[in-house]
Structure 1
């Protein structure tokens, strides 16, 4: 079964199924709130959802925008805590009992979520049940849990540092391509069939993905016979879970600890800026003056997947001639330029052109993951990616909450302020990477050479 050490199909199907639903959920909530707040049906159009020269309708859009962003905030608040806790536990546990458990449980949670959403939509149940559903599904893990498990899986099967970087970049590319394809399908799917069929299709895909992991995907972590007893299962792993992440720093030398802290901070702030800005894009596109329909929203999401392809090519090409630090900084500069352009996009053409300066914006994520993976041992990969996934989920949730609140507060006078704030915050990870490059300490200088691509001792 060695031919089935492939986790890429899991990420591909999960990305397609998740992003088939994700843009629709914002639109579903938006339309349900529109009907509740205005007592009218939602104005559907082929290109624009806004009616020109109607001050009353503009006020209605503003009111619904605020309600939708606040609903998203509450939904995130109720799902973030259980998701974070489960992420750390599952990924640390995977170092002992295998990576598949950290992949299977999030798939179960996603299946529960999509089936529940389908029921809420089909029977037109109270919209607040979506918050309950999010909380329950978070008990099985989150998007970060599954990705942490998949990246740990890749770290297990890749022994060459460059191969690890490229394969992790490939996973990010798979996420982008299949999420973009799903976004295109979601718009047409919604227009042709309504919300129920996309939710049903997503449920089927999550179910099929679960079967693949359970019956086809091979395990990379072999459980020692001495830990196979009931006592080992019940005591040894659980006793060590709480200390796994702590040991990443407590048992390491100063060189590795400093590097790990700097890289984790850089990755966390990058995720905060990226997820935070992207979390309000759909609302920004629905609002005036863009007023995009579901078709344009799908095309916009799909067009942005070019960034994943170009970023993968960028990593592949630039890693041949540049160390890792400049690659990360180039990616951050690309993202900053795109965010500034988005803030001032007032036409459909300009909104599509935003993706041009952002062609390398995804590069920092896989490069930073690979840099961190290289400086820890194989037995610590689960704990590392548990820490990474925890910080990624925490920063993403905090970003979602912060940017939803900011958008609700500024939508009336400057809807693009969220993107300007994110662009400004990108200066922080750039500065952190600069610190890594200029530190005079001998130990950190050696580590900098290490993460820049020089050979590392076992």
Structure 2
């Protein structure tokens, strides 16, 4: 049977399964910590979004203590899982230049399946909560979300020759990631409310199994390497692998390297602010004065993921009339406004409405990925996205840990301080974007002139989509 060159279903199903689990883990940890710290059952609210009528100082201090413990648990989990995930992302995505992209997809799916099964075991048998950190570390040995996304973006870059097509298809991957995660989180709220934690964890594991079947047996390899040029006993394979990222910059001109480094810096600094700030939203919604239940959290998370669809439409429309830096700036401005507003929200209605100013917040990511992809040759796509995703993994993990620590330290006197800080830090990538415009990169086509002349046909037999 002839396979398909469609990596979008992999991203869609992976996003659904991952984001079905992610908010559940936060809520599961929060409830277990509540039981451990207060020695009472977790207060269940059927439809109300208001806090318990007992606003005694003892109850408020319990909320604050659980909030701190939950945020620190999240920080430890993110930091410890990053240690093996980072080198695995570098190795696997760079290795895909030599052996094909599917390895960067299959291994992270196996790791996610193992993690879901561990979550299910901890939930069913009420095992020690900190086993979740051990499970996160073990699953990251197979790579993580950075690995699979790096592989999928490299896969798309292999298939697309036209610059606008590449940008739109990368934006499409971001949209699939967002839309399916939105469907997952809103269904998770009802799923949790109706069945508890076990069935959602089991369902996510089933989706990972189905995704593995598609990736292994149906998805075609986008980068078919000539076995005569890449034999298993080639003594230079290991050298090519370990020096892939070094060669990415060594073979480029000084102007291209400076521009590439600047783009990576803008990409990662904006990612630091965006994902670091938004990692606190669920904890903020669980805290006073909102005290949301799982249904409201699901609706809020689903509304947040509408940003992916709106950002895709924004990229498609704005690319017809604006330069790439202008599209990036509009997206960053959208995030800046939303984060600053979120810092002062105290009601449920405003917490829903604050998502609206951030609807274009994802636009900078696919635009910058497309620009960077066009600046390197086909044989360097894996090395590029290995570099980008590895650095992005570090920055987002450090951001999550840093903002969780800041939130734990400031939740008692101003719970919105972390969001306000994130908004202020958003000015950094916006300022760096001004330097990018100074370099004269007004549209993505100008980056093509920086592409080194390199004959890749001898080592690459890339199919045309």
TM-score after normalising by structure 2: 0.94
**Residue 190 of structure 2 corresponds to residue 194 of structure 1:** no
- Deviation by residue 1:248-267 (Cα, 9 ceiling, x = unmatched): 21211012101101100000
Structure 2 regions of 5+ residues with no counterpart?
Answer: 454-465
Mapped contact 1:323–1:453 kept (Cα < 8 A):
no
Shift of 1:452: 5.8
Shift of 1:229: 3.5
CA distance in 2, matches of 1:50, 1:122: 29
Decide which of 219, 222, 244 is 2:221's aligned counterpart.
219
CA distance in 2, matches of 1:36, 1:227: 59
- Deviation by residue 1:36-57 (Cα, 9 ceiling, x = unmatched): 0110000010223731323221
CA distance in 2, matches of 1:450, 1:415: 40
Mapped contact 2:84–2:137 kept (Cα < 8 A):
yes
Aligned to 2:102: 100
Aligned to 2:460: none
Aligned to 1:45: 45
Aligned partner of residue 159 in structure 1, secondary structure:
coil
Aligned partner of residue 231 in structure 1, secondary structure:
coil
CA distance in 2, matches of 1:411, 1:2: 56
CA distance in 2, matches of 1:203, 1:86: 22
Describe how 1:27-426 pairs up with structure 2 within 5 A. 27-46=27-46, 47-48=48-49, 50-52=51-53, 53-227=55-229, 229-232=231-234, 235-426=235-426
Mapped contact 2:98–2:230 kept (Cα < 8 A):
no
- Deviation by residue 1:64-108 (Cα, 9 ceiling, x = unmatched): 000001111111121011000000000000000000001100000
Shift of 1:3: 6.3
CA distance in 2, matches of 1:43, 1:355: 27
- Deviation by residue 1:191-226 (Cα, 9 ceiling, x = unmatched): 100000000000000011011000000001112222
Mapped contact 2:118–2:135 kept (Cα < 8 A):
yes
Q: 1:162 to 1:3 in 2, by over 3 A?
A: farther
- Deviation by residue 1:137-163 (Cα, 9 ceiling, x = unmatched): 010001010000000000001110000
Aligned to 1:451: 444
CA distance in 1, matches of 2:313, 2:168: 10
Shift of 1:287: 0.2
Aligned to 1:442: none
CA distance in 1, matches of 2:76, 2:448: 47
Shift of 1:228: 5.0
CA distance in 2, matches of 1:214, 1:454: 35
Mapped contact 2:273–2:425 kept (Cα < 8 A):
yes
CA distance in 1, matches of 2:446, 2:204: 40
CA distance in 2, matches of 1:247, 1:374: 17
Q: 1:450 to 1:242 in 2, by over 3 A?
A: farther
Mapped contact 1:268–1:392 kept (Cα < 8 A):
yes
CA distance in 1, matches of 2:393, 2:155: 19
CA distance in 2, matches of 1:62, 1:359: 31
TM-score after normalising by structure 1: 0.96
CA distance in 2, matches of 1:144, 1:391: 10
CA distance in 1, matches of 2:190, 2:105: 30
Aligned to 2:463: none
CA distance in 1, matches of 2:124, 2:360: 41
Mapped contact 1:324–1:453 kept (Cα < 8 A):
no
Aligned partner of residue 51 in structure 1, secondary structure:
coil
CA distance in 2, matches of 1:343, 1:211: 44
Mapped contact 2:374–2:447 kept (Cα < 8 A):
no
Aligned partner of residue 412 in structure 2, secondary structure:
coil
Aligned to 2:459: none
Structure 1 regions of 5+ residues with no counterpart?
Answer: 440-444
Mapped contact 2:93–2:104 kept (Cα < 8 A):
yes
